[in-house]
Amino acid sequence: MKATTIILMIITITSKVIGALRNAVLSRLFGTGDVAAAFSLAMSIPVVIFSFISVGITTGFIPTYKRLEDREGYLIADKFTSNLGNITLIISIILMLICQIFAKPITYLFAFKLNNEARELTTIFTQITYLSLPAMAVATVYRGYLNCKNEFIVPAIQGFILNFFILISLFLGKYINVYFLAIGLTFATIVQFVPYIPAIKKRKFKWTKILDIKEPEIKSMLIMAIPVIFGTSISQLNIIIDKNLSSMILGGQGITIMDYSSKLSEFVNGIVIISITTVAYPLLSKIAGRGNIKEFKKTILDTLTSMNILVLPAMIGLAVLSEPIVRLVYEGRAFKPEDTVLTAPCLLFYALGLLAIGARDVLFKSFYSLKDTKTPTINSFYMVLVNIIASIILSRFIGLSGLALGSTIAAYYGATTLYLRLKKKIGDFSDLQNFKKENLKMIVASVLMGVFAYISFSLLNNRFGSNISLLISIMMSALVYLILLLLFRVKELYALLNSIKNRLSRKK
């Protein structure tokens, strides 16, 4: 698992770097104005709406497919996949038409404090981007299929395609016509899934002309997905409230600033957390299906440890160097120094929540592997309540950054309560003491690295300027962290190195 995860991370890192370049170009060309706000909403609104379908599919498909494949063979499992894909396509087309009809009220729901010009532009943008919903829907089913076949690389490549075409559309939107932003985004969203086609054919998958909503496996998957869909609706309500709170504080600029800061935090989320949980989920489902609880517990702790060795230094680094990072990535032309001052504190508070987000995602997947979707749903409900209350209170005192801090507080609440529920469900973790010991070493190493990063940047900044000082400081801090892990004899580091060594030796 570790070698596959590392390859997946390398691909994701490259993709995310291109994504960061995309965001940097967006900030410099359009700053934090109405066009940037409209583009941000046009990217997020279709995803939020579609998540009601995608989360249900993602949660239920992998365990169902694995069970069918083990019991009845891959042909029956593939037929189920075709049926689900066809049903999903029909539902997504209906959803797309509904969104087209109610585009204006949907936009108002997400950001009622936008001025009239920004709201009108957002409505037009979203009407264009809604056209990508059917492609997103079908791709979600077949991404799950590829993951079941241990194919994680092809789905990861889609980020390259998406960001490449969005980059082109940004320049077309700036210098030719602003509507190229939405057209390019829609085209990119659809085309990014093209690599799925040869990958699916390689697995000898045969599409079946079938549309049977009464199929028992579809029904059981739907029953499993209903609590998740409900939980997702709660989470999406939270996103809507966050968008409106940010627009109430600073209008369209507030939405854009929160989006820019969260994108930098999601950089780590996408590279480490999603890469690891993507590989871990099929494995957890397989172990849970066998009923081997001891191995199941060990896999959970191993997954968390593999994640934390990378998340902890990234979290501390983003928090400590938040302002120079925002300055390097975004500042210039339309994105002013005062925008950096507003964005950096939001990034700091978002970054501090990465550890909890990673733990929560692993625990979510653990419950899903046990076919328990009710517990994560209840957890999501209370987490959203905590987030809303904390965000409203904190935003009154510290403005936009209060929204980011509210999200972080909610993430730690969610991860903690979810762990306690899992412990109650499957019993104590026998190797917990060793887990605590190894992770404590990582925490100490990360904090010391953070102190070094702050001091080194401050000293270098006096001589070389912010951007060069930041890059040097990051490279030096990464080396310091690696040395500290070696000095502390962190076992996970040696496990990762051995995994890479074995992978390379097999290729020779």
What is the pLDDT, as a whole number, of residue 494? 80
| Mean pLDDT on 313-318 | 95
Output the six-digit token pair for 82: 């075709």
CB proximity list for 371: less than 8 A, separation 6 or greater: 63, 224, 288
Q: Quick one: which of 442, 453, 436 has its CA closest to 485?
A: 442
| pLDDT confidence band for 506 (50 / 70 / 90) | low
User: How far apart are alpha carbons 446 and 428 in whole angstroms?
Assistant: 28
| Mean pLDDT on 237-264 | 83
| Mean pLDDT on 70-90 | 88
pLDDT at residue 124 tops 80: yes
More confident residue, 268 or 338: 338
What is the pLDDT, as a whole number, of residue 203? 86
pLDDT at residue 13 tops 80: no
What is the pLDDT, as a whole number, of residue 389? 93
What is the pLDDT, as a whole number, of residue 502? 67
Q: What is the pLDDT of residues 192-214, one digit of tens each?
A: 888 898 999 888 888 888 888 88
User: How far apart are alpha carbons 82 and 363 in whole angstroms?
Assistant: 30
| pLDDT confidence band for 422 (50 / 70 / 90) | very high
pLDDT at residue 239 tops 80: no
Q: What angle do the packed helices 322-329 and 216-268 form, to 10 degrees?
A: 100
Percent of the chain with pLDDT over 90: 43
pLDDT at residue 445 tops 90: yes
pLDDT at residue 495 tops 60: yes
| Mean pLDDT on 276-305 | 87
Q: 245-281: string of b/e by CB count within 10 Å (b at 16+)?
A: bbbebbbbbbbbbbbbbbbbbbbbbbbbbbbbbbbbb
pLDDT at residue 3 tops 90: no
What is the pLDDT, as a whole number, of residue 157? 84
**Cα 58 → chain centroid:** 14
| Mean pLDDT on 92-109 | 92
Output the six-digit token pair for 392: 């409203």
Integer distance in angstroms from the first to the last C-alpha of the chain? 20
Q: Is there a contact between 414 and 379 (Cβ–Cβ < 8 Å)?
A: yes
pLDDT at residue 32 tops 60: yes
| pLDDT confidence band for 504 (50 / 70 / 90) | low
Among 172-176, 264-268, 359-363, 425-429, the least confident range: 264-268
CB proximity list for 78: less than 8 A, separation 6 or greater: 205, 206, 208
More confident residue, 19 or 367: 367
Among 126-135, 249-258, 484-493, the least confident range: 249-258
| Mean pLDDT on 461-474 | 90
Tokens 């239920």 — which residue? 60
| Mean pLDDT on 287-297 | 88
What is the pLDDT, as a whole number, of residue 469? 94
| Mean pLDDT on 379-407 | 92
SS3 335: strand
pLDDT at residue 292 tops 60: yes
Q: What is the pLDDT of residues 350-360, one digit of tens each?
A: 999 999 999 99
What is the pLDDT, as a whole number, of residue 70? 81
Q: Which residues pair with 332 in a beta bridge?
A: 335
User: What would you report as the CA-atom Rg of the chain, rounded to the nearest whole angstrom?
Assistant: 23
More confident residue, 397 or 16: 397
What is the pLDDT, as a whole number, of residue 453? 96
User: How far apart are alpha carbons 155 and 475 in whole angstroms?
Assistant: 30
Q: Where are the beta strands (DSSP E) in 91-155?
A: none
Burial class (CB in 10 A: 0-12, 13-18, 19+), 293: middle
SS3 346: helix
| pLDDT confidence band for 190 (50 / 70 / 90) | very high
Q: What is the pLDDT of residues 107-116, one digit of tens each?
A: 888 877 778 8
Residue 114 Cα distances to 34, 111, 242, 326, 394, angstroms: 8, 6, 14, 25, 22
Percent of the chain with pLDDT over 70: 96
How many residues would you count in the chain? 508
| pLDDT confidence band for 221 (50 / 70 / 90) | confident
Q: What is the mean pLDDT of the chain?
A: 87
User: How far apart are alpha carbons 159 and 275 in whole angstroms?
Assistant: 13
Q: Is there a contact between 224 and 60 (Cβ–Cβ < 8 Å)?
A: yes
pLDDT at residue 335 tops 90: no
Residue 129: half-sphere exposure toward Cβ, Cα within 13 Å = 30
User: How far apart are alpha carbons 399 and 222 in whole angstroms?
Assistant: 41
